[in-house]
Structure 1
Amino acid sequence: MTNRIIHGGGITAAARQYGGRPEEWLDLSTGINPNPVSLPDIPIAAWHRLPDQHLQERAREAARGYYRSGDISPLPVPGTQSVIQLLPRLVAGGRVAILSPTYGEYARAFTLAGLQVRQVSTIAELTSDDRLVVAVNPNNPDGRTLSVEQLRELHDGQREHDGILLVDEAFGDVEPAASMAPFAAEMPNLIIFRSFGKFFGLAGLRLGFMIAEASIIARFEDWLGPWAVSGPALSIAASLMESDTSAIRNRILQRHAALEGVLRRSKLQVAGGTRLFALVADDRAEGIYTHLCRHHILVRKFDYARNWLRFGLAPDEEADQRLAGALGSDDFRSVRPEI
């Protein structure tokens, strides 16, 4: 059995181990906008009734404009994790290649389904035997980005042997020019996953969107079954995607610049990341993680890269100062690399 993956956001467990109430902790362990947007008005019917078709249609039309997906109306799904679990059905008996290191649930889902999984570091390692290729773009956690041209070429190569290219753009909202969504209608062997909660700061809504040609979307609709996404989630998504999101983007950029400033002044090396998090490479990573936990600040560590830590965005200047204080303390200077 493949072990479950420890993700960010485990404040309750951290508080039990290091003390303090969960609400007193500063959670920098996720790649989620730390300033959730204000919720729009939700019609009472969205709570009272099963999700009517008009709610789904409005959300899909709003997503089509927001993602610029042309003739494709993106499919709302109950979080992209839900459709990751369904992907093995597309490639039963085939081989999967994942550009790695990346979000670990892809490899876990395929492995649990009994598929042959290759984790490769470069496009050059891909072969015509790879039935499905997974590329997280921009990548989590190192921020590696493939260009539109590279992904077009990769799709065309997959199409030649009836393979599929999956591009996960969970962290793509802040950099829309890098998205493949505007080209999806002309790329029949392409699937795109988009996260809703990360950019809008509403991860608890459990909502994502899938962009692909009609027959692929129809298969996932059947697999998900009726009413997969709640009426309130559809209503919120439609309202926010129809609105001007420039202020959200600008705030994220400000928070990202502030985080990098704190890390730079603390002499920590930023080795990668996206606008929603920074990846630090440091031989003292385990000690830094523990030190920050003792200050009730949670970051993300990695079992496969023991010198990496991922820092999410702090919500405001006060939180910046709290992080800077912990990284500037006398006990931080005494942290040593693991022997």
Structure 2
Amino acid sequence: MNAGFRYHGGRLTEACARYGGEAADWMDLSTGINPNAWNAPAGLAVDWRALPNPLALHALELTAAQYFGCALPLCAAVPGSETGIRQIARVLNLPGLYQPLSYGTYSRAFAQADAIADLSTLPRRPTALVIGNPNNPDGRVLPRARLLELLDHQEQHGGWLIVDEAFADCAPDWSISSEVTEERRLIVMRSFGKFFGLAGLRLGFAIAPQRVLGALREAFGDWPVHAAAIAYGAAAYADAGWIAETRRRLVTQAAAVDAVVRRHGLDVSGDCPLFRLVVVSDAAGLFERLAQQHILTRPFEDRSDLLRIGLPPDNAGLQRLDAALGDG
């Protein structure tokens, strides 16, 4: 297996090169991206000849702040939450802390970073603790009270808490965006591409005190995101009907995946409906078997017993996964 498959999901070109077929032959379940993306209305046009409009960017940030439930001055668009996390690590200039089973960027974003398995034993020194909520890849969701306890510890010792809410759109009560204030040492990251299914736009948001956002804005310059990201983001965050229906549909789709996986004797976990984590004795073998049938999943470098499976796009895709799991 190519090591790249264990680094990030979405490596469909590499999968075609290794296992054959064209991209259209594959079902890519290697990411936690909504397979049924938000569709822009017919009248939504993007003028690629013009620089991004600062007023339109402000309107996007206003719409996003209202959607997140945070104050507008504390919300800034960034070119993807992954890039935003990396830049925030540079702004804070502190050692990073992350949980062993979490998004790989957390460890790579900081000049110095350490895994901490037990959050009850946080060090008594300034650090930047990064928590995915929901966590990727196991879908674990920490309650607001626990996150605020972690924030209190970090603040007492001169550190920061960064909560990555890339998948929090699935259930709005998971978010602590409303807890961000000028005084607190709390930063929340949001991602547009996961829930809305448009990861190629590279749009995210940092919700943080203005002293942090000022450094971010200086780093990203006058045009932090492109014109299409501004136009699509503003329209999508305002589409309340699509958002509500998608939240309901994702829960149903995830339950259907759970039923299929468990029928084949596999353990599955995850509160986040955009992906499921499968526990299997030989994850690499299952990855290979599915790849031979042009189904791409996500293995992990240090965990030979785990495989993440995203949502099939429809019932036909679910039946295809069911058949592939039963073959062998």
State the TM-score, normalizing by the size of structure 2: 0.93
- Return the alpha-carbon distance in structure 1 between the equivalents of residues 258 and 41 of structure 2: 32
Deviations 1:141-174 (A, max 9, x none): 1122211111112112222232111000011101
Which residue of the partner structure matches residue 248 of structure 2?
Answer: 250
1:185 counterpart SS class = coil
State how many pairs are aligned. 323
Which residue of the partner structure matches residue 19 of structure 2?
Answer: 18
- CA contact 2:129–2:161 (8 Å) conserved in 1: yes
Counterpart of 1:235, as a letter, is A
Q: 1:318 aligns with which of 312, 316, 328?
A: 316
- CA contact 1:96–1:130 (8 Å) conserved in 2: no
The answer to whether the aligner puts 1:278 opposite 2:276 as a matched pair is yes
Deviations 1:194-221 (A, max 9, x none): 0100000000111101101111111110
- Return the alpha-carbon distance in structure 2 between the equivalents of residues 23 and 64 of structure 1: 37
Which residue of the partner structure matches residue 228 of structure 1?
Answer: 224
Identity %: 38
Q: Tell me, which stretches of 5 or more residues in structure 2 are unaligned?
A: none
The answer to whether the aligner puts 1:182 opposite 2:178 as a matched pair is yes
- Return the alpha-carbon distance in structure 2 between the equivalents of residues 228 and 143 of structure 1: 30
Counterpart of 1:55, as a letter, is A
- Return the alpha-carbon distance in structure 2 between the equivalents of residues 71 and 61 of structure 1: 6
The answer to whether the aligner puts 1:239 opposite 2:230 as a matched pair is no
- CA contact 1:42–1:232 (8 Å) conserved in 2: no
Q: Tell me, which stretches of 5 or more residues in structure 1 are unaligned?
A: 333-339
Structure 1 residue 6 displacement after superposition? 1.7
Pairwise CA RMSD of aligned residues?
1.8
2:251 counterpart SS class = helix
- Return the alpha-carbon distance in structure 1 between the equivalents of residues 262 and 47 of structure 2: 46
Q: 1:172 aligns with which of 168, 172, 179?
A: 168
Structure 1 residue 41 displacement after superposition? 4.8
- Return the alpha-carbon distance in structure 2 between the equivalents of residues 41 and 266 of structure 1: 43
Q: 1:195 aligns with which of 191, 195, 212?
A: 191
Per mean C-alpha deviation after superposition, the further-off stretch among 65-74 and 234-243 is 65-74
1:32 counterpart SS class = coil
Residues 1-339 of structure 1 aligned to structure 2 (within 5 Å):
6-41=7-42, 44=45, 46-70=47-71, 72-92=73-93, 94-110=94-110, 113=111, 115=112, 117-185=113-181, 188-244=184-240, 245-272=243-270, 274-329=272-327, 332=328
Structure 1 residue 48 displacement after superposition? 2.9
- CA contact 1:134–1:165 (8 Å) conserved in 2: yes
Counterpart of 1:51, as a letter, is P
- CA contact 1:29–1:310 (8 Å) conserved in 2: yes
